[in-house]
Structure 1
Amino acid sequence: MTSRVVAALLIGLLAVVQAQLWLGRGSVGDVAQMQRKLDEQKANNALAQQANERLSAEVRDLREGLETVEEKARGELGMVKPNEIYVQIVK
């Protein structure tokens, strides 16, 4: 009699654990859904990172490009900005 009660109790506990595994919070389906969301977010983050890198490169090119143009204009054409004094030293 007691072995049947113990066996029934163990089968009941096993059923509860299985139900939690398949249907409850943190179940197999729930974990799979969260993994899909995580993969999707990682893909979105990678795209955003590429866009950020592209924009950073564009800003860097614009800054360096303007500095190069200004340097050439100052050296070759004698460009002077407002409120600057141009001094040329000849050796």
Structure 2
Amino acid sequence: MRVLTLVMLAIVALLQYRIWFGQYGAGDLRQLQADVERQAESNNALKQRNELLYADIEDLREAHEAIEERARNELGMVKPEETFFRLIDKDNNPQ
């Protein structure tokens, strides 16, 4: 009976060792959970970026003011008969 108890305890100890320290054990589970959390954060950031891009696309499709604003700000375009003035702040000029 005593030998049977020792054998059973040895089997339980071996199984516990495999659960906590073996391949696909608790350490691997924690690592996978951390990987999933990092990927979820990355996905959320990309989802927000995509939503902003979709909003820009809709804005450009629907509103002509958005196209004009982009042409003025990003390309430096002006309308015919319009005068462009560039004001430079005196404090920002290194001279």
Q: TM class by shorter-chain length?
A: 0.5 to 0.7
Aligned to 2:24: 26
Shift, 1:5, TM fit: 1.5
Query: CA offsets per residue over residues 5-43 of structure 1, 9 Å max, x none?
Result: 211111111111111111112311111111100000000
Report the RMSD for the aligned CA atoms in angstroms: 1.4
Supply the AA of the counterpart residue of 1:39: E
Q: Distance in 1 between matches of 2:24 and 2:8?
A: 22
Aligned to 2:36: 38
3-state DSSP of counterpart to 1:25:
coil
Supply the AA of the counterpart residue of 2:45: L
3-state DSSP of counterpart to 1:26:
coil
Where in structure 2 are there 5+ consecutive unaligned residues? 68-95
Matches of residues 5-84 of structure 1 in structure 2 within 5 Å? Answer: 5-66=3-64
**Normalized against structure 2, the TM-score is what?**
0.63
Shift, 1:4, TM fit: 1.6
Q: What stretches of structure 1 move > 3 A for 4+ residues in a row?
A: none
Supply the AA of the counterpart residue of 1:57: A
In our comparison, the structure showing a higher alpha carbon Rg is 1
How many percent of aligned residue pairs carry the same amino acid? 32
